Amino acid sequence: MVFVISRDSITYIKRMAGFMVDYVKIIADKINTGIPVALYTVGGDTFSVVRALKRRYGVKPVAVCDRDTAKQGRAYRGLDEIPVMSFEDTNSSYPNAEYFISSMDYRYDIMGELVHGGDLPPERIINWEPVEKRISCKFWEKLVCAKHDRTLSYCWEHGSPQIPIIDGMDSAVSEVISLRNELISGTKGLNELCDKCGYVTPSWYPISKKSWWINYFGQGKCNYKCKYCSSPVHETVNTDAGDDSPPLKDVIDALSKAGMLSDFYSIILSTSGEPSLHPQRKSFYDAFDGYSLVVNTNGSVYDEDLFSLMQTKMVRLIVSIDAGHRETFKTIKGVDCIYKVIENMCKYQQSAIGMVVPKYVVTPGINDDETNIDAFCEICRELNVPYAIAAYDMFSARPIPDRSTDMLMRLESNLENMGILCAPYTECYTHEYCTTLGEVFSPKNDKES
């Protein structure tokens, strides 16, 4: 069933035309007119919206909904004393509330469940988009990867189809759209990789078939030699690496022109190397006009241009520290600068809108010990971050050793006791990896987060 809802005509026309909509302003305007607004769910995107509402307009939602009972009733630093409630309790307490589905990864699942399974009128969802249930893959649906080898794809898995950018960006985007639509519609048989992938499942997806993530992989240089890094740039430390990557602006323009981007898409900036050292980094920042920008950085360099962007945009810096002590940091990172990284994170954390997100990649035999885990958690406390990310070295042994599993659970427990959300990093890797890490955190961790 497709719902047609009455909305402000200008906003609706902009949405259908693919223009970015300032949802933070829309939420603030509703709150200022007396309409209670709740966000859904607890997670990084929600923390960003709460921070932007507070800093830009001095308002906040009445609640954050989450179906994970372990989160309900908890006080999280990133929520500014906003209660975490079940949807049922929120709907009962605020029967005229409107909802903003702030989860980027699961927003369509949530919309489908609330409207088609929970009888919530779609006009009460601020960012509602008609959805349908179909067998598909979240990567086909949501993702466009633009890589430094001048290819476009919809998946990180090795062996997935790659579309070379030969006859221009528009032509390559057209090929990507054709391929993904054939996969989504079922008119094209699955390749061996997709046929065996656990991500191909029935779920709720937008009828428009627009994507909502761009993952941009530029080629750069790196000043680290991380133990777990698979990129060749660490072998040429402090040397310039050529970058033949397609300009990020060209990627965005071509996808927008083709009508492929959601009205609030996000970008993950994952240069193969350290983005703050990339000579074209300012052009990346200038090109960004989406909903949120995620930058993966080692934090060793303080970038004034990046800090400036964080003053006005919902930027999240994911900084892999992977240690709590200096010697362990030197061992796992190949450099001695943990104090400089912490200093830079403190500076970035002073931005008006953007946020710093520490990350800990558990690597067996190197940093899977109590002293480093506990010290890392203290760093998070001192930085006053809203959440941190827990990960496991993708190239280490499977199954995850008991000691490493224990340390992942210790990391989560310590952070949660501090009011800091611990989010497992299960969105940007293979199905096998995400399943393995997800099993460590379940059943406590719900997929919505």
Q: What is the pLDDT of residues 386-437, one digit of tens each?
A: 999 999 998 888 889 999 999 999 999 999 999 999 999 876 567 778 888 8
- Please report the pLDDT score of residue 447 as a whole number: 41
Picking from 128, 155, 177, the residue at the C-terminal end of a domain is 128
Would the pLDDT of 2 be above 70?
no
- Please report the pLDDT score of residue 5 as a whole number: 45
Identify whether the C-beta of residue 110 lies closer than 8 Å to the C-beta of residue 103. yes
Assess whether 180 and 263 both reside in one domain: yes
Q: What is the pLDDT of residues 415-428, one digit of tens each?
A: 999 999 999 987 65
Q: Identify the CATH number of the domain in which residue 77 sits.
A: 3.40.50.720
Domains in the chain, number? 3
Say if 313 falls within a structural domain.
Answer: no
- Which residues partner with 206 through β-bridges? 131
* Alpha-carbon distances of 126 from 29, 148, 254, 269, rounded to whole Å: 12, 37, 27, 27
Percent helix, strand, coil in the chain, to 5, is: 40, 20, 45
Would the pLDDT of 442 be above 90?
no
Letter for the amino acid at 321?
I
- Please report the pLDDT score of residue 68 as a whole number: 93
Would the pLDDT of 38 be above 60?
yes
- Please report the pLDDT score of residue 429 as a whole number: 65
- Which residues partner with 152 through β-bridges? 146, 163
**Cα–Cα nearest to 118, from 152, 96, 88:** 88
Assess whether 75 and 161 both reside in one domain: no
Q: Note the Cα 45 to chain centre separation in Å.
A: 7
For the ranges 118-122, 135-139, 270-274, 341-345, the lowest mean pLDDT is seen at 270-274
- Which residues partner with 85 through β-bridges? 65
Picking from 128, 160, 195, the residue at the C-terminal end of a domain is 128
Assess whether 147 and 284 both reside in one domain: yes
Assess whether 254 and 161 both reside in one domain: yes
Assess whether 197 and 246 both reside in one domain: yes
Say if 83 falls within a structural domain.
Answer: yes
Assess whether 244 and 263 both reside in one domain: yes
Identify whether the C-beta of residue 317 lies closer than 8 Å to the C-beta of residue 268. no
Say if 176 falls within a structural domain.
Answer: yes
Say if 224 falls within a structural domain.
Answer: yes
Sheet holding 387-392, edge to edge: 163-164, 151-153, 143-147, 211-216, 261-269, 292-297, 315-320, 355-362, 387-392, 421-424
**Cα–Cα nearest to 359, from 409, 325, 323, 398:** 323
Identify whether the C-beta of residue 22 lies closer than 8 Å to the C-beta of residue 127. no
Assess whether 265 and 148 both reside in one domain: yes
Q: Identify the CATH number of the domain in which residue 410 sits.
A: 3.30.750
Average pLDDT for the chain: 88
Cut 0.85: pTM above it: yes
Say if 20 falls within a structural domain.
Answer: yes
Q: What does 127-150 look like in DSSP terms, one character per residue?
A: T---EEEEEEEHHHHHEEEEETTT
Assess whether 197 and 54 both reside in one domain: no
Would the pLDDT of 260 be above 60?
yes
Assess whether 366 and 280 both reside in one domain: no
- Please report the pLDDT score of residue 374 as a whole number: 98
Kind and range of the H or E element at 2?
Answer: none
Q: What is the DSSP letter of 245?
A: P
- Please report the pLDDT score of residue 105 as a whole number: 85
User: In percent, how much of the chain has pLDDT > 90?
Assistant: 67
Assess whether 353 and 256 both reside in one domain: no
Q: What is the DSSP letter of 96?
A: T
Picking from 128, 162, 190, the residue at the C-terminal end of a domain is 128
Letter for the amino acid at 334?
G
Say if 314 falls within a structural domain.
Answer: no
Average pLDDT over residues 256-262: 93
Identify whether the C-beta of residue 220 lies closer than 8 Å to the C-beta of residue 275. yes
Say if 257 falls within a structural domain.
Answer: yes
Question: Which residue range(s) make up the domain with 261?
Answer: 133-297
User: In percent, how much of the chain has pLDDT > 70?
Assistant: 90
Q: What is the pLDDT of residues 56-73, one digit of tens each?
A: 999 999 999 999 999 999
What are the DSSP E strand ranges found in 248-369? 261-269, 292-297, 315-320, 355-362
Assess whether 209 and 277 both reside in one domain: yes
Say if 158 falls within a structural domain.
Answer: yes
Assess whether 263 and 405 both reside in one domain: no
Q: Which two tokens stand for residue 391?
A: 């990960």
